[in-house]
A and B are shown apart, each in its own frame.
Chain A
Amino acid sequence: MTVVSAFLIPGSPLPFVQRDNPPWGKIADALDTAGKALTASQPDTIIVYSTQWIAVLDQLWQTKPHLKDIHVDENWHEYGDLPFDIKIDTDLAEAAVVATNEAGIKSKGVNYDKFPIDTGTIIAANFLNPENKLPLVITANNVYHDWQMTEQLGRIAVAEAEKLHRKVAIVGVGGMSGSIYRQVINIADDKIASDEEDKWNRKILSLMEKGDVKTLLNECPKYASEAKVDMGFKHFAFILGAMGGDFSSATVHGYGPLYGSGAAVLEFQLG
């Protein structure tokens, strides 16, 4: 089997930069658990789709072999730096560029010194691959791509991995409900900003736990709009596509607020 594990995680830096804040620490602990599960699944490569890497023209794939730098989040700069040290599975990334182009999704590799690596990708790398043992494939969220196209991207990435005999872990990085606190809060009291959105998140998580893909696919468009979900929940579309459109159940390692928005750490059990 090509896909050996799959995860959905939040891309906010808050659990990483301030895990001693109890609500955020719970998410950080869940991310650690997900990281252990990922390692135990023994992938050759981790494929990461992050909502925060925004593309507009093409589908972008990182093709620089080694990314090592410090990033400072645009909004959460006061919490300090986000160091990263990421190796790229360039063979798989290059293959994905060719394959997505062949599928009619215009794609490009990016290989530039100081190309901005998004916070979500860095959070995924730092929690799930802390010692930088495994190479990554990183791809962008093109804002003009819809759910179907994003599922297709996940499918294509896995098909290429299979051709190269790679075992892969899939990581979709993005938030759940999107209402946030716009003002400064007492971070120890952080909670989901909207009760309605909290209900929606819980409903979706419970459908995932049951592996009820059919109902999920029905509910996701409504969930995305009513709960202001990060980028239309396309990170889940990518994961779903990568899993071949199905999974048997999911484990919620953590769920909670990140400055009012919903964050969940999920591990999917494959079909």
Chain B
Amino acid sequence: MSKGEIIAGFLAPHPPHLVYGENPEQNEAKSQGGWEQLRWAYERARASLEELKPDVLLVHSPHWITQQGHHFLGVEHLSGKSVDPIFPNLFRYNFELKVDVELAEACCAIGAEMGLTTKMMLNPNFRVDYGTITTLHMIRPQWDIPVVGISANNSPYYLTTEEGLEEMDILGKATRKAIEDSGRRAVLLASNTLCHYHFSEEPVPPEDMAQEHPQNYEGYLWDMRMIELLRQGKTGEVFELLPQFINEAFAEVKSGAFTWMFSAMQYPELAGELHGYGTVIGTGNAVMEWNLIKAGLAQAA
């Protein structure tokens, strides 16, 4: 078996509005569109993923919150209807996914060896969270690539942000080692919004784009500053600023996916490709790609 590798990482946020705006058959709620800038950003990301031809997609979602350790989906087939508890009017999605249990088990075991509390989720009746499902639908609506789903341990909230993100850094290292040992060609998905200040009321209809704009100007400025640094490949500077960004822009990257992904990729000082930016109910969302094949850091298939 040849050595596995991470071939790309995507910042792949999960506002359910994007699925709602697209009107796929799996979603019960129907719209007249909306959030096109972000949906077109995902179209570009989908095309890129198609070329990457990964064996597996790994997704870390802030809406599977766990207190005792970092958990991994460990049931080969999971299906059901996922209803977003915050936006049930927009997202009632029938999903069916295939889990790469072998890789999940390896991530879990190596994470434990590295000192983390880790756990496999083995209950076949488990309801996969809407963050995982939205990110996976937006990046690969065909659902034909196996998945490793990873929970967001609440350490950045329970401990300090810095202590929590240190755990996510270890989780990233464990993920990398597991992928290398597995022989898989893997794509990482960090399911995170940037600035998370949001409006407290929905427009009628929710897809009325005349109402959609950043909720908070300071937060918007933060998003632009961070995206600009990421586009320049100034990863070190981004991670120096991260705790301040989290604090001042209430950024969802606090939950760890972004740190997990960059740790797994060994924090490359590599210019990220911005596929697009847009707001959803006022929050800032960027779809970005770090293509390690194009950068010569991983091999083409």
Q: Which residues of A contact B (CB under 8 A)?
A: 53-57, 70-72, 74-75, 77-78, 80-81, 106, 110, 112-116, 144, 180-184, 259
Pick the contact of A55: B64, B86, B151, B158 (CB < 8 A): B86
Interface pair A183/B122, CB less than 8 Å apart: no
Interface pair A116/B83, CB less than 8 Å apart: yes
Interface pair B127/A116, CB less than 8 Å apart: yes
Known A57-B86, A112-B88, A259-B68; judge A70-B81 contact (CB<8 A): no
A178 nearest in chain B by CB position: B158
Q: B85 near A: Cβ within 8 Å?
A: yes
Q: B142 near A: Cβ within 8 Å?
A: no
CA distance A116 to B75 in the complex (A): 20
Q: B121 near A: Cβ within 8 Å?
A: yes
When distances are taken between beta carbons in the complex, the residues of chain B under 8 Å from A115 are: 83, 85, 88
Tell me the smallest distance from the CB of B88 to a CB of chain A, in Å: 5
Q: B155 near A: Cβ within 8 Å?
A: yes
When distances are taken between beta carbons in the complex, the residues of chain A under 8 Å from B82 are: 114
CA distance A71 to B83 in the complex (A): 13
B94 nearest in chain A by CB position: A114
When distances are taken between beta carbons in the complex, the residues of chain A under 8 Å from B123 are: 72, 77-78, 80-81
CA distance A191 to B10 in the complex (A): 42
Interface pair A77/B83, CB less than 8 Å apart: no
Tell me the smallest distance from the CB of A212 to a CB of chain B, in Å: 31
B92 nearest in chain A by CB position: A112
A142 nearest in chain B by CB position: B200
CA distance A80 to B82 in the complex (A): 19
When distances are taken between beta carbons in the complex, the residues of chain A under 8 Å from B86 are: 54-57
B82 nearest in chain A by CB position: A114
Given known contacts A55-B86, A81-B123, what 10 new A-B pairs fall within 8 Å (CB)? A54-B86, A75-B66, A77-B121, A77-B123, A78-B119, A81-B125, A110-B88, A180-B68, A182-B155, A184-B117
A181 nearest in chain B by CB position: B68
Tell me the smallest distance from the CB of A197 to a CB of chain B, in Å: 14
Classify the secondary structure of A's interface with B: loop
The tally of residues in B whose CB lies under 8 Å from a CB in A reads 31
Interface pair A74/B151, CB less than 8 Å apart: yes
Q: B106 near A: Cβ within 8 Å?
A: no
The 8 A-B pairs with the shortest beta carbon distances in the complex, nearest first, are: A77-B123, A114-B81, A72-B126, A112-B88, A75-B66, A114-B83, A183-B117, A72-B123
Interface pair A114/B92, CB less than 8 Å apart: yes
Interface pair B68/A184, CB less than 8 Å apart: yes
Interface pair B121/A183, CB less than 8 Å apart: no
When distances are taken between beta carbons in the complex, the residues of chain B under 8 Å from A144 are: 200
Interface pair B85/A54, CB less than 8 Å apart: yes
Q: Which of B164-216 contact A (CB under 8 A)?
A: 198, 200-202
When distances are taken between beta carbons in the complex, the residues of chain A under 8 Å from B71 are: 75, 77
Q: B65 near A: Cβ within 8 Å?
A: yes
Tell me the smallest distance from the CB of B176 to a CB of chain A, in Å: 23
Q: B24 near A: Cβ within 8 Å?
A: no
Pick the contact of A57: B65, B83, B119, B202 (CB < 8 A): B202
Tell me the smallest distance from the CB of A251 to a CB of chain B, in Å: 30
When distances are taken between beta carbons in the complex, the residues of chain B under 8 Å from A112 are: 83, 88, 92
Tell me the smallest distance from the CB of A108 to a CB of chain B, in Å: 9
A228 nearest in chain B by CB position: B158
Convert B63-101 into 0s and 1s, putting 1 for each residue whose CB lies closer than 8 angstroms to a CB of A.
011111101000000001111011010001000000000
When distances are taken between beta carbons in the complex, the residues of chain A under 8 Å from B68 are: 75, 180-184, 259
When distances are taken between beta carbons in the complex, the residues of chain A under 8 Å from B69 are: 182-184
When distances are taken between beta carbons in the complex, the residues of chain A under 8 Å from B129 are: 74
When distances are taken between beta carbons in the complex, the residues of chain B under 8 Å from A80 are: 123
A71 nearest in chain B by CB position: B127
Interface pair B126/A57, CB less than 8 Å apart: no
B88 nearest in chain A by CB position: A112
Tell me the smallest distance from the CB of A189 to a CB of chain B, in Å: 15
B167 nearest in chain A by CB position: A182
B89 nearest in chain A by CB position: A112
When distances are taken between beta carbons in the complex, the residues of chain A under 8 Å from B85 are: 53-55, 115-116
Tell me the smallest distance from the CB of A97 to a CB of chain B, in Å: 15
B120 nearest in chain A by CB position: A78
Tell me the smallest distance from the CB of A18 to a CB of chain B, in Å: 14
Tell me the smallest distance from the CB of A230 to a CB of chain B, in Å: 12
Interface pair B67/A182, CB less than 8 Å apart: yes
Tell me the smallest distance from the CB of A225 to a CB of chain B, in Å: 15
Tell me the smallest distance from the CB of A112 to a CB of chain B, in Å: 5
Interface pair B200/A72, CB less than 8 Å apart: no
